[in-house]
Structure 1
Amino acid sequence: MSAARPRVWVSQPLFDDIVARLDRYFEVAATHAVADHSPAAIARALREADGALVTLNDPVGAAEIAQASRLRAVANVGVGYNNLDVAALQARGIVATNTPDVLTETTADFGFALMMAAARRITEAERWLRDGQWRGWAFHSLLGAEIHGTTLGILGMGRIGQGIARRAGGFGMRVLYHNRSRLPEAIENECRAAYVDYETLFAQADHVVLVLPYSAQNHHRIDAATLARMKPTATLTNIARGGLIDEAALADALASGRLAAAGLDVFEGEPQVDPRLLALRNVVLTPHIASGSLATRRAMVSLAVDNLIAALGFGPEAGKPPNVIS
């Protein structure tokens, strides 16, 4: 009698044709409808699993793996992984992986578009038009901020931040960045970007884009004091994680005119959004879709499947998953 095949849990509906590649090696327990899994439900699913394919919606920490004696690998569909308690997984010898690189350019496209939409008041103008307020062309109507020739500040200069910096070159923007560590000179030259300290970035930038990872140390990194450093004509765009911003302080700044506009793709309590932000006209709100092109989302799932297969000791990269989180 052949040995039982390893069992893997797929936490959310993804792309059936890509997930089907798991069938060659594993018994697959797939979720067929979008689910808001409770911690207890995740713990039950992991209890009988050797591996799991999860999304940012699915927190996996010490409590969820406490009874998962068979679990050997968790493959996250996303470059960010603050839904995973990596230390708890590593303590149990469970491999954790993510999906970097494949979403870099698409996310950079979206970040630049969101910044432009906020600066040029695009969604505000569309609502105004759809509400029947347009009575003809007017010289002073819905005047926005310039993009070309202005100063862009990027907080977090990883792959996506560098992608945004490269796009800024086409608009003749001066690019400043702040990062945990300064980039090599060759990358700075390629991105035409200058390293500055945190305070200088917020004081000098006309447009700030957040692309840094979320961590407990970065919680509410953008607080009232940071917002007060910004020009009143500036914009703030967040395509990283919602918890980076003190949303109450941001709402205050936007409502008072202390900050011109914001573009937010992520929120601290998502899918719930602060009602004050929903009511403000000078903020562009999108539902966490920065990587949301069809090609990119398929590439993310494909890479996560490759990671999981390899982490569980199968396929051409057996035992050597491409993207282990260290």
Structure 2
Amino acid sequence: MKAKIVLTHRVFPETVELLEPHCELILNETSHTLPQGELLSRCVDADAMMAFMPDHVDEDFLRHCPKLKVIGAALKGYDNFDAEACTRHDVWLSIVPDFLTAPTADLTMAMLLSISRHVLAADQYVREGNFQGWRPVFYGTGLSGETVGLIGMGKVGQAIARRLQGFDAEVIYYDCKRLDLDEEKRLGVEYAQLSHVVKHSTYLVPMLPYTEETRHLIDAQMIAAMPQHAYLINVCRGSVVDEDAVVSALTDGHLAGYAADVFEFEEWARADRPLGIHPELLAMQEKTLFTPHLGSAVIESRKNIELTAARNIIEALSGNKPTHAVNDIRMGVLK
């Protein structure tokens, strides 16, 4: 009998074509996330699962899926998946470490420009029939001559820095692991302590994974240390930013704008996560710009992510360690 694989979200035809010769596929043909109960019922006798960002796997889930051998996660950050529990249940957990860098950096640039130049509000102004010719309205802030602060200089941070070179902006950064001087020169960035980056950046861009250490790193105290009328852009993880603190800073005028592609409610592993986007954030249309987690939503990138996740699954079902496994069930330890 072929192994049974549950694909939790709709995938590209190429992904189906790669997996179909090896497995019986249980597809989600909709654009919606399956309720946890329905997902469990599909996975109870499954050998593998291809999972996506909205999915959540913990000890209880694994206990109800005794045949599961591998979870091929089509994502990079896997904090919604209990890797230690996977190891205890002899389940491989694999991720896709690449293919997200360029599209996420591109989206960051779009957000930097759109929030500071009032693109969304101006578009609405035109569509509502208000444009009758040039008027002195929607004055914003450009990138040329301004300071962009990056917190985190991993692959995505470096890709953003490369893109900023064409905008004549000063780029400063903080990372717990500093780049070498040649790399800083090549990227056109200057290292500084975190407090300096926060204090001197017109645009502050955290580019960090979500951990207990980074949870609410951008809090009320840090936002208060930012320059008056600065912009905050979040395309990494929702809970890196304290959304309540952002609401307060936008309300009192300290922050000029907040752009986000990620939100606190998406952190399934957080027991106290909010149930949705802060309603006051949604109401501040002139000061905010939001997208629905589009970081890697480029067709070729998403195809490659899915195909890599599928190959990880095939490797595990063939008795091999997946190329991008984050745990090692043979050793009983995390990678």
Does the pair score TM above 0.5? yes
Q: Distance in 1 between matches of 2:324 and 2:239?
A: 25
DSSP 3-state at the match of 1:24: coil
Taking the aligned partners of 2:316 and 2:154, their CA distance within structure 1 comes to 25
Q: Is the 8 A contact 1:115 1:209 kept in 2?
A: no
TM-score of the aligned structures, taking structure 2 as reference length: 0.89
Determine whether 1:142 maps to 2:135.
no
- Indicate the residue corresponding to 1:115 in structure 2: 112
Displacement after TM superposition at 1:61 (Å): 1.2
Shift of 1:131: 2.5
State which of 88, 98, 101 in structure 2 corresponds to 1:101: 98
Post-superposition shift, 1:31? 1.7
Q: Which amino acid aligns with 1:310?
A: E
Question: Do the aligned partners of 2:92 and 2:322 also contact (CA within 8 Å) in 1?
Answer: no
The alignment covers a number of residue pairs equal to 318
Question: What TM-score do the two structures reach when normalised by structure 1?
Answer: 0.91
Is contact 1:153-1:176 (8 Å) kept?
yes
1:303 aligned to 304, 308, 315, which one? 308
Shift of 1:107: 1.2
Q: Give me the whole-angstrom Cα distance separating, in 2, the residues matched to 1:212 and 1:133.
A: 40
**Counterpart Cα distance in 2 of 1:22 and 1:289:** 25
Check conservation: 1:145, 1:233, Cα contact below 8 A. no
Checking the alignment, whether the CA contact within 8 Å between 1:40 and 1:64 is kept in structure 2 is: no
Q: How many angstroms apart in 1 are the aligned matches of 2:315 and 2:81?
A: 19
Gaps of 5+ in 2: 267-274, 327-334
SS at match of 2:246: helix
CA shift for structure 1 position 302:
1.2
Q: Is the 8 A contact 2:9 2:33 kept in 1?
A: no
CA deviation string 1:250-303 (max 9, x = no partner) = 011112210111111111125932221111111111111121111111111111
State the secondary structure of the residue aligned to 2:289: strand
Task: Decide which moves more: 130-139 or 259-268.
Answer: 130-139
Deviation at 1:227, TM superposition (A): 0.6
8 Å contact 1:207–1:236 — kept in the other structure? yes
8 A Cα contact 1:102 1:300, kept in partner: yes
Conservation of the 8 A alpha-carbon contact between 2:8 and 2:33: no
| Rounded Cα–Cα distance in structure 2 between residues aligned with 1:49 and 1:194 | 50
Change (3 A) 1:185 1:307: farther
User: How many angstroms apart in 2 are the aligned matches of 1:88 and 1:197?
Assistant: 37
Aligned counterpart, 1:249: 245
Q: Are residues 217 and 46 of structure 1, via their aligned partners in 2, closer, same or farther at CA, if it must alter by over 3 Å?
A: farther
Letter in 2 for 1:180: C
Contact 2:9 2:51 in 1 (8 A): yes
Query: How much has 1:66 moved relative to structure 2?
Result: 1.1
Q: Which residue of 2 is the match for residue 321 of structure 1? A: 322
Deviates more, 1:161-170 or 1:212-221: 212-221
Alpha-carbon shift at residue 236 of structure 1 (Å): 0.7
Amino acid at match of 1:284: L
| Structure with the larger RCO, 1 or 2 (CA within 8 Å, 6+ apart) | 2
Stretches of 4+ aligned residues off by more than 6 angstroms: none
Q: CA deviation at 1:187?
A: 3.1
Find the partner of 2:4 among 7, 31, 47.
Answer: 7
Q: Write the deviation string for residues 74-123 of structure 1: whole angstroms up to 9, x where unpaired.
A: 11112222221122212323221112221211111111111111111111
SS of corresponding position for 2:217: coil
- Name which of 26, 29, 32 aligns with 2:26: 29
SS in 2 for 1:323: coil
C-alpha offsets along residues 35-88 of structure 1, whole Å, 9 cap, x if unaligned?
A: 433333333333212211011111111111013222121111122222211222
Contact 1:50–1:73, Cα closer than 8 Å, also in 2: yes
Equivalences for residues 183-194 of structure 1 within 5 A: 183-194=179-190
Aligned identity (percent) is 29
Q: Mark the CA change 1:117 to 1:185 in structure 2 (over 3 Å): closer, same or farther.
A: same
Q: Does 1:182 align with 2:178?
A: yes
| Alignment partners' CA distance in 1, 2:212 and 2:68 | 26
Deviations 1:212-262 (A, max 9, x none): 111233222211111101111311111111111111210111122101111
CA distance in 2 between partners of 1:287 and 1:233 (Å): 25
Please list, as runs of the form range in 1=range in 2, the aligned pairs for 1:1-326 lying within 5 A after superposition. Answer: 4-139=1-136, 141-269=137-265, 272-280=276-284, 281-313=286-318, 319-325=320-326, 326=335
Partner SS for 1:187:
helix
Superposition RMSD in Å: 1.8
Deviations 1:117-173, CA, capped at 9 Å, x for gaps: 11111112112222333343123x111112012211112221111100111111122
